[in-house]
Structure 1
Amino acid sequence: MAGQEATHWKIEDLDFSRIARAEVRKDENLFYLVACASFIESGSDLYTQNLVDFFRGDDEVTAWLADYWEAEELQHGKALRAYVSHVWPEFDWETAYRGFLEEYATYCKVELLSPTRGLELAARCVVETGTASYYRALARATTEPVLRDLASRIAADEVSHYKHFYRFFRRYRQEEKLGRLRVLGIIGRRTLELKSEDADCAVRHVVRVRSPERACDAAYIRQLGARINGTVRTNISPGTTLKMLMRPLELPASVETVIQYPIRQFMEHVFLR
């Protein structure tokens, strides 16, 4: 893993002076996409500790979580915050984030993880699929070169994280003798939760500081969330997303054609509705 650490990109690799500020500053939708993502990424240390505790005794998994995954996720948060600060300097990021973190911490509990390590790793594959898809969509949704570069870098990181979780999952699948039905169940549940309280929480706290007069306007916040989801949905790559989601099932060719269609219908309903 030393090579991974040595070659991973740094915030200094991004030239924020090249931001086409006039192009994006008036784009409220883009502001919320980036600001909300910066909050969730910046809270990564909360659920990293939960996972480290959950996998205590498995040094390979816990070392990677603590030494690589958490650091890269927090770097995503710092880079996205820096972008927000360059384009929308009037936004009080710190105040909004403090409110978000206080609420978000209540969602990050060990008891909310899956019942076994193998199933939790399958769930993490779903989460990484969702985040990779989000940042790929964000990169497609803008022509601003610095944001497109940043979103593409983060998407590549999320794919790399997915590969690690998938490798760990395969080991635990053997140890726990996990059948496909159990894996399918956890994939389905976590897929339904992707559009979850995390994003809703971020939107609410950004609105409270960005537009305090709309903070109690539930209809406005719902509309805003729908608009953000619409941007992601329009720019998502469904084929790649579905392939990543289905990979932990490791379907043999003999049954793949039978089971793939209903699974694809379900995944498309969740991601593309």
Structure 2
Amino acid sequence: MQKQAHPAMSWSLDNVPYHDIDITAVRSREDLFYLVAGASFIEIAADLYTDNLIEYFNDQPEIMQWLVDYWKFEETRHGHVLRDYTKHVWPEFDWDRAYASFYADYSVQCTQEALEPSRCLEMAARCVVETGTATFYQALSGQANEPVLAHMASLIRADEISHYKHFYQYFRLYRTLDPTSRLKIFRAIARRVMEARNSDAETALWHVYMVQRNVDVNSDKTEFKKMCAQFSQQFRQYYPLGMAAKMLMRPLDLPKAVSRVVEGPLVKVAERVIGKKTSAKPEKQAH
């Protein structure tokens, strides 16, 4: 079904017109159900990793205030609007039970011990996470065949781009205070990229799947893995690989000529990572 322009796109995330949702267009889209419900879990749980970061940067009042007043507020708002969208379109899904199960699992994974060993490197890792969220919501906006969801995703994407810019600004500050080699920065970026593929998203999707399919935590994951692989293949065609490559390379501060040479291979690597099959067991990734 071809996506139609929404008659009034001037609304914000504070006043989403749920009554305008084209339920007939989206209700049968299993991929969108899982992506939206799973994303709502991760966003609402922002308080977990906000607390970790506040403790890590506890002598930096400006950063601490921004984390609480803007980042945490906007992340949880994203989660609330995605939750409400899920409940409106798929009211039979027990969102609250699935989220409670997810939170119990996820809270164990979000530990301060897994943060990067220096503040400069942790800010570089933050840029990776925000790259992932910004590109995810851009792809979701393209994949959505329902105008309210598509616009909602584009608004969230704009917030995530803003978050990336703030973390990048703080990264540059700490790189000045604590000069760090490109090799160390590259390794921090690479670690977070490799962790991200099978951590937060898979954990969230698994808890949606358990409630939706009425299975328990010890159930065989063969069908779940097949479903995730299918979603990955569908998602690839909308994923902005070039945008992801540019955002990931920015903390390396490479000369323009080098960036142009590196970007192509990096896009190909990212394409393989996005398209590869999900593993049987989620890896732990701290925020």
Q: Does TM, normalized by the shorter one, top 0.5? A: yes
1:220 partner amino acid: E
| Aligned counterparts of 2:258 and 2:144: Cα–Cα separation in 1 | 40
Is the partner of 2:224 in helix, strand or coil? helix
Give the corresponding residue for 1:245.
248
Deviation for aligned residue 1:269: 3.0
Deviation for aligned residue 1:248: 0.6
1:65 partner amino acid: L
Identity %: 45
Assess if the C-alpha contact under 8 Å between 2:137 and 2:153 holds in 1.
Answer: yes
Give the corresponding residue for 1:95.
97
Normalised to the residue count of structure 1, the TM-score between the two structures is 0.92
Give the corresponding residue for 2:84.
82
Deviation for aligned residue 1:27: 1.0
- CA RMSD in angstroms comes to 1.7
- 256-265 or 165-174, larger mean C-alpha shift: 256-265
Distance 1:14 1:186, change over 3 A: same
Deviation for aligned residue 1:223: 1.2
Assess if the C-alpha contact under 8 Å between 1:137 and 1:236 holds in 2.
Answer: yes
| Aligned counterparts of 2:33 and 2:76: Cα–Cα separation in 1 | 19
The answer on 1:35 being equivalent to 2:37 is: yes
| Aligned counterparts of 2:247 and 2:83: Cα–Cα separation in 1 | 28
- 47-56 or 232-241, larger mean C-alpha shift: 232-241
1:271 partner amino acid: I
Give the corresponding residue for 1:48.
50
State the 4+ residue runs in structure 1 displaced beyond 4 angstroms.
257-262
The number of aligned residues is 265
Following superposition of structure 1 onto structure 2, how do residues 178-257 of structure 1 map, counting pairs within 5 Å? Answer: 178-213=180-215, 216-253=219-256, 255-257=258-260
Q: Report Cα offsets for 1:173-229 as digits up to 9, x if no partner.
A: 111101111111111111111212211211121112111148623111111221222
1:270 partner amino acid: V
Give the corresponding residue for 2:8.
none
Distance 1:49 1:251, change over 3 A: same
Of 161, 164, 168, the residue aligned with 2:163 is: 161
Normalised to the residue count of structure 2, the TM-score between the two structures is 0.88
The answer on 1:269 being equivalent to 2:272 is: yes
Is the partner of 1:13 in helix, strand or coil? coil
Assess if the C-alpha contact under 8 Å between 1:48 and 1:70 holds in 2.
Answer: yes
- 71-80 or 180-189, larger mean C-alpha shift: 180-189
| Aligned counterparts of 1:20 and 1:258: Cα–Cα separation in 2 | 44
Relative contact order, higher structure (CA 8 A, sep 6+)? 2
| Aligned counterparts of 2:261 and 2:139: Cα–Cα separation in 1 | 30
Assess if the C-alpha contact under 8 Å between 2:26 and 2:145 holds in 1.
Answer: no
Assess if the C-alpha contact under 8 Å between 1:191 and 1:267 holds in 2.
Answer: no
5+ residue gaps in structure 1?
A: 1-8
Q: Report Cα offsets for 1:35-62 as digits up to 9, x if no partner.
A: 0001111111000000000011011211
Assess if the C-alpha contact under 8 Å between 1:126 and 1:245 holds in 2.
Answer: yes
1:192 partner amino acid: M
| Aligned counterparts of 1:34 and 1:179: Cα–Cα separation in 2 | 38
Deviation for aligned residue 1:265: 3.9
2:251 partner amino acid: P
Assess if the C-alpha contact under 8 Å between 1:214 and 1:220 holds in 2.
Answer: no
Give the corresponding residue for 2:7.
none
Give the corresponding residue for 2:130.
128
Q: Compare the two structures and name the one with the higher helix fraction.
A: 1
